[in-house]
Amino acid sequence: MGRPVAHVRAYLIESHSMLREIVFDTETTGLNATGGDRLIELGCVEIVNRIPTGREFHRYLNPERDIHPDAIAVHGLTPEFLKDKPLFKDVVDEFLSFIGDAPLVAHNASFDLGFVNAELERVSRPPLTPDRIVDTLVLARRRHPAGPNSLDALCKRYGIDLSQRTKHGALLDSLLLAGVYVELLGERQATLGLNGQGGIDMMLRTRAAKARQRPQPLPSRLSAQDAAAHRAFVETLGADALWLRYPAAV
């Protein structure tokens, strides 16, 4: 008799197998996926054993239609900004290749899944099935029945930095949700402190400002006198000194 899905997932974690999941979010022209509203932004973050790997999929999309003013107020994406962006049909192969057959994690997942599946239907592709979806809103309501359980509220509850989130954005929200997801599962210790002060925060800072290489290497701070003093000190340590294994030290 086969194991229940929950037991299989627990077994994979306990045996240190590679558990790959995709945290994703969308922005849209409005709220009605079946009434003609369209995707305009799609963001995905890969996590393995609940740790972000740095692999991401992010695309703005031309919806070929207008955008509701209330939606623009939420995400700030205008028709003018999106008019030269690719159509969903132009990125669908890359998107499906990125997510593969991994479980998909989203907040209020029925909304995002509805829009993604509507776009897949337009390009004659099979829908993403609900059995591979993990809805963090459902997890949050179980763990915090009194709420509030919006993404903002959960980030504040768990101390995840929201300073870069002036408006909704699919990629940034996916990265924030990855941190919330780990907290909801109670696996922060297992993922090396992936919280507001850990991996998520570091990835946000890295994205905001890429490291730049110095135009000229810094000069050495070690003088000839310092090197000579070090060699003299090493000679006093005896023939078994570890420093003697390194030619530069003698």
| 46-85 exposure pattern, b = at least 16 Cβ within 10 A, e = fewer | bbebbbbeeebbebbbbbeeebeeebbeebebeeeebeeb
**C-beta separation of 114 from 34 below 8 A:** yes
| 110-149 exposure pattern, b = at least 16 Cβ within 10 A, e = fewer | ebbbbbbbbbbeeeebeebeeeebbbbbbbbeeeeeeeeb
C-alpha distance across the termini of the chain, in Å: 66
Q: Phi/psi zone of residue 224: left (φ > 0), alpha (ψ -120 to 50 degrees), beta?
A: alpha
Active site annotation includes 230: no
Q: Which of 7, 68, 168, 230 is catalytic?
A: 168
Q: Give me the sheet containing 39-48, strands edge to edge.
A: 51-60, 39-48, 20-28, 104-106, 133-135
Residues classed as catalytic: 168
